[in-house]
């Protein structure tokens, strides 16, 4: 009986986490290149339950069976399905069709250490040195490191990520893909961090110039998720209250006489 | 108390800023040479509930992370060219290309693509000025001073050279050329209102097109560059922003309902 209260509470806590996740997806419905998160839920490990204080028993028969006392979020993975493409006609707006990421580097202002991150947000611009950067100022990487463009001249980027300015080849974008994308970790700023174990594979997608990839959050789906979560939370709350009422009876009524 | 409440609230806040930007674009749909703005969103920090860890048979291969909502990371200006409108006014100039006019303001030089110039009598001299009265600069950073008779017959060619007819009807070269500058990163310019931009560290210093080789901007006399705001685009963005705002508010309601249920556990 009291065990059940904890089970219901774990269900409520679980659904609260799911709600946090859904709210983050919903908040990022307009974030360029955002990939929605999905939670996988697993029940607690099953445990064997025994009768206790059972005089008739002799060790073997007093097992009741297995049960699991609650559930929790076991893993949160990003759904890397494609977002829809938004035409912007800006020469420095790039979208990736298919799997893959742009590589960008972030320099730690204190230590000067360089860390490479990956993003699907191709809203790029130039900084005052003519380097191709993200809107956060992180440098976009090419095959030869930083990509420096001239003050003038039409910039053309083909589907393979080759950058041309006035017909002159500048560099090729460093486009990467991963064997197991579930090992990528989101760090905010639309960036992903790769694990040391994640194996890079050849890029197979295509680059679209003048487009941005929108968020792949589907508001209808998230709305349905939200309703599910709310009702599951409510059901757990009702179960909690029912058990509390039973407990109340046991405490206040059975011992009355 | 509940991350969902804050994430959804940040979502509403970001969409509100987005609507602010869209309405400013719509308000400036008739502003000469106005360049539209666009909000760019980014996700915020992720809280790691449990780290990825590999223990044979009992590891978590994926870390458990929940995000904290969204914010506007940048408001980018699109410097795509607006449509040209023929005005037949000889003092209306439009720039085809990436250049900017330079005007002299009390706070220093400012840059604009709004070429609806006028002549004004400043200290007894006839000068070419903007609608706000700021003198337009020529190459060599000099103000453009013209003889009184020149105004009715002024001709400005594609490169910005100013010629006019004198009292006898002869074509005279004023020796002045309208200065056109260009920026490495025009998106880094600071919009100051009144169609004026100021330099910032991100935009880079202005480079006079005189010093640049290759194709230059063209000046078109008798034309004005209109705003590059597309009403249809903005309306679509407005509808999306409104619905995104709405779904975020639903998330807040849901989170609140859940909190209320949690509070009702204890009766």
SS3 sequence of A174-196: CEEEECCHHHCEEEECCEEECCC
**Which residue out of B251, B262, B264 would a mutagenesis test of the A interface target, given it has the greatest number of A Cβ atoms within 10 Å?**
B251
* pLDDT value of position A81: 92
* pLDDT value of position A61: 62
Using only C-alpha atoms, what is the Rg of chain A? 27
Out of A56-60, A156-160, B63-67, B97-101, which region has the weakest mean confidence (pLDDT)? Answer: A56-60
* pLDDT value of position B240: 92
* Residue B133 distance to chain A (closest CA, Å): 31
| Euclidean distance between CA atoms A192 and A101, whole angstroms | 9
Quick one: average pLDDT of B128-135? 90
Verify whether the Cβ–Cβ distance B212 to A152 is below 8 Å.
yes
Are the C-beta atoms of A22 and A220 separated by less than 8 Å?
A: no
| Per-residue confidence band for A95, with pLDDT thresholds at 50, 70 and 90 | very high
* Residue A187 distance to chain B (closest CA, Å): 6
pLDDT at B188 over 90: no
Beta-bridge mates of residue A134: A124
Contact residues, B window 1-20, toward A, CB-based 8 Å cutoff: 2-5, 7-8, 10-11, 14-15, 18
| Per-residue confidence band for A257, with pLDDT thresholds at 50, 70 and 90 | low
Chain B residues inside the 8 Å CB shell of A23:
3-5, 7-8, 11, 69, 248, 251, 255
The reply to whether A128 touches chain B by the CB within 8 Å rule is yes
Out of B1-15, B52-66, B92-106, B232-246, which region has the weakest mean confidence (pLDDT)? Answer: B52-66
* pLDDT value of position A70: 87
pLDDT at B253 over 90: yes
**Which residue out of A11, A13, A27 would a mutagenesis test of the B interface target, given it has the greatest number of B Cβ atoms within 10 Å?**
A27
Q: Which residues contact A219 (CB under 8 A, 6 or more apart)?
A: A26, A29, B243, B244, B247
Tokens (6 digits) for A96: 């990736």
| Per-residue confidence band for A255, with pLDDT thresholds at 50, 70 and 90 | low
* Residue A45 distance to chain B (closest CA, Å): 12
Quick one: average pLDDT of B124-140? 89
Mean pLDDT score of chain A:
88
Q: Which residues contact A256 (CB under 8 A, 6 or more apart)?
A: none
Chain A residues inside the 8 Å CB shell of B214:
152-153, 166
* pLDDT value of position A141: 93
Mean pLDDT score of chain B:
88
Query: B103-132 in b/e burial notation, b at 16+ Cβ within 10 A?
Result: bbbeeebbbbbbbbbbbeeeeeebbbbbee
* pLDDT value of position B15: 95
Q: Which residues contact B235 (CB under 8 A, 6 or more apart)?
A: none
Tokens (6 digits) for B113: 């693509």
Of A37, A128, A189, the CB nearest to B202: A128
Contact residues, A window 224-253, toward B, CB-based 8 Å cutoff: 226-227, 229-230, 233-234, 237, 240-241, 244
Quick one: average pLDDT of A79-106? 91
| Per-residue confidence band for B164, with pLDDT thresholds at 50, 70 and 90 | confident
Verify whether the Cβ–Cβ distance B207 to A32 is below 8 Å.
no
* pLDDT value of position B1: 62
Number of H helices, E strands in chain B: 2, 22
Are the C-beta atoms of B182 and B209 separated by less than 8 Å?
A: yes
| B8 vs B55: which has the higher pLDDT | B8
Q: Which residues contact B56 (CB under 8 A, 6 or more apart)?
A: none
| Per-residue confidence band for A55, with pLDDT thresholds at 50, 70 and 90 | low
Of A26, A123, A166, the CB nearest to B251: A26
| Per-residue confidence band for A57, with pLDDT thresholds at 50, 70 and 90 | low
Chain A residues inside the 8 Å CB shell of B41:
28, 30-32, 34
* pLDDT cut 70: percent of chain B above it: 95
* pLDDT value of position A75: 84
* Residue B136 distance to chain A (closest CA, Å): 24
Q: Which residues contact B149 (CB under 8 A, 6 or more apart)?
A: B164, B165, B166, B167
* ipTM rounded to 2 decimals: 0.78
* Residue B33 distance to chain A (closest CA, Å): 17
* pLDDT value of position B100: 93
Closest CA in chain B for residue A26:
B248
* pLDDT value of position A38: 92
The reported pTM is 0.83
Q: What SS3 string covers B141-170?
A: CEECEECHHHHHHCEECCCCEEEEECCCCC
Verify whether the Cβ–Cβ distance B60 to A74 is below 8 Å.
yes
| The residue to which tokens 């599951």 are assigned | A232
Residues in chain A: 257
Are the C-beta atoms of B241 and B22 separated by less than 8 Å?
A: yes
Distances (CA, A) of A156 to A87, A91, A165, B197: 16, 7, 6, 27
| Per-residue confidence band for A60, with pLDDT thresholds at 50, 70 and 90 | low
| Per-residue confidence band for B175, with pLDDT thresholds at 50, 70 and 90 | confident
Contact residues, B window 171-210, toward A, CB-based 8 Å cutoff: 182, 184-185, 187-188, 201-204, 207
Which residue, among B27, B75, B108, B40, has the nearest Cα to B191 in the 3D structure? B75
Are the C-beta atoms of B244 and B11 separated by less than 8 Å?
A: yes
Distances (CA, A) of B30 to A39, A82, B76, B84: 48, 37, 20, 12
* pLDDT value of position A206: 92
**Which residue out of A26, A77, A189 would a mutagenesis test of the B interface target, given it has the greatest number of B Cβ atoms within 10 Å?**
A26
Are the C-beta atoms of B207 and B185 separated by less than 8 Å?
A: no
Chain A residues inside the 8 Å CB shell of B207:
151
Chain B residues inside the 8 Å CB shell of A74:
60, 64
pLDDT at A178 over 80: yes
| Euclidean distance between CA atoms A13 and B8, whole angstroms | 18
* pLDDT cut 90: percent of chain B above it: 46
| A67 vs B197: which has the higher pLDDT | B197
Closest CA in chain A for residue B75:
A135
**Number of inter-chain CB pairs under 8 A, A vs B:** 207
Quick one: average pLDDT of B219-238? 93
The reply to whether B72 touches chain A by the CB within 8 Å rule is no
The reply to whether A88 touches chain B by the CB within 8 Å rule is yes
* pLDDT value of position B154: 87
Contact residues, A window 133-172, toward B, CB-based 8 Å cutoff: 135-136, 151-153, 166
Q: A207-231, pLDDT tens digit by residue?
A: 999 999 999 999 999 999 999 999 9
| A185 vs A102: which has the higher pLDDT | A102
The reply to whether A22 touches chain B by the CB within 8 Å rule is yes
Distances (CA, A) of A148 to A132, B73, B182, B187: 6, 23, 17, 17
Verify whether the Cβ–Cβ distance A19 to B258 is below 8 Å.
yes
In terms of Cβ atoms closer than 10 Å to its own Cβ (0-12, 13-18, 19+), residue B251 is buried
Tokens (6 digits) for B27: 């308000």
């Amino acid at each position: 009986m009291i065990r059940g209260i904890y089970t219901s509470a774990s269900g409520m806590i679980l659904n609260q986490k799911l709600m946090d996740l859904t709210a983050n997806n919903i908040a990022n419905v307009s974030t360029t290149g955002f990939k929605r998160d999905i939670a996988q839920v697993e029940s607690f490990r099953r445990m064997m339950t025994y009768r206790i204080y059972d005089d008739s028993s002799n060790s073997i028969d007093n097992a009741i069976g297995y049960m699991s006392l609650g559930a929790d979020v076991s893993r949160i993975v990003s759904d890397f399905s494609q977002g829809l493409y938004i035409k912007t006609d800006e020469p420095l707006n790039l979208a990736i069709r298919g799997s893959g990421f742009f590589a960008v580097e972030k320099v730690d202002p204190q230590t000067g250490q360089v860390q490479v991150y990956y993003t699907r947000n191709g809203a790029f611009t130039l900084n005052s040195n003519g380097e191709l950067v993200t809107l956060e100022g992180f440098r976009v990487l090419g095959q030869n490191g930083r990509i420096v463009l001239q003050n003038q001249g039409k910039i053309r980027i083909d589907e393979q990520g080759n950058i041309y300015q006035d017909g002159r080849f500048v560099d090729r974008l460093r486009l990467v893909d991963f064997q197991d994308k579930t090992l990528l970790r989101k760090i905010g700023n639309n960036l992903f961090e790769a694990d040391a174990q994640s194996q890079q594979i050849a890029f197979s997608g295509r680059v679209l110039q003048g487009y941005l990839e929108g968020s792949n959050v589907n508001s209808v789906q998230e709305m349905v998720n939200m309703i599910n979560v709310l009702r599951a939370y409510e059901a757990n709350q009702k179960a909690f209250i029912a058990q509390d009422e039973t407990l109340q009876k046991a405490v206040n009524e059975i011992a009355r006489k | 108390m509940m991350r969902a409440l804050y994430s959804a609230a940040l979502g509403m806040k970001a969409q509100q800023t987005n609507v602010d930007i869209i309405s400013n674009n719509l308000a400036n749909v008739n502003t000469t040479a106005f360049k539209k703005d666009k909000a760019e969103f980014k996700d915020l920090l992720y809280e790691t509930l449990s780290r990825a860890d590999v223990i044979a048979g009992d590891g978590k291969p994926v870390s458990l992370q929940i995000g904290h909502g969204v914010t506007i990371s940048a408001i980018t200006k699109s410097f795509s060219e607006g449509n040209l409108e023929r005005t037949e006014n000889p003092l209306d100039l439009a720039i085809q290309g990436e250049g900017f006019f330079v005007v002299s303001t009390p706070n220093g030089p400012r840059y604009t693509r709004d070429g609806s110039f006028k002549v004004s009598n400043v200290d007894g001299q006839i000068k070419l000025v903007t609608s706000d009265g700021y003198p337009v600069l020529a190459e060599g950073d000099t103000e453009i001073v013209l003889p009184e008779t020149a105004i009715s017959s002024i001709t400005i060619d594609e490169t910005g050279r100013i010629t006019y007819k004198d009292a006898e009807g002869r074509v005279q070269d004023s020796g002045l050329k309208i200065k056109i500058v260009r920026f490495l990163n025009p998106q880094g310019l600071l919009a100051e209102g009144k169609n004026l931009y100021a330099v910032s560290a991100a935009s880079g210093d202005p480079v006079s097109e005189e010093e640049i080789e290759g194709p230059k901007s063209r000046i078109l006399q008798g034309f004005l560059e209109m705003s590059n705001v597309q009403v249809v685009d903005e309306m679509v963005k407005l509808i999306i922003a409104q619905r995104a705002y709405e779904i975020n508010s639903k998330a807040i309601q849901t989170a609140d309902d859940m909190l209320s249920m949690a509070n009702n556990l204890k009766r």
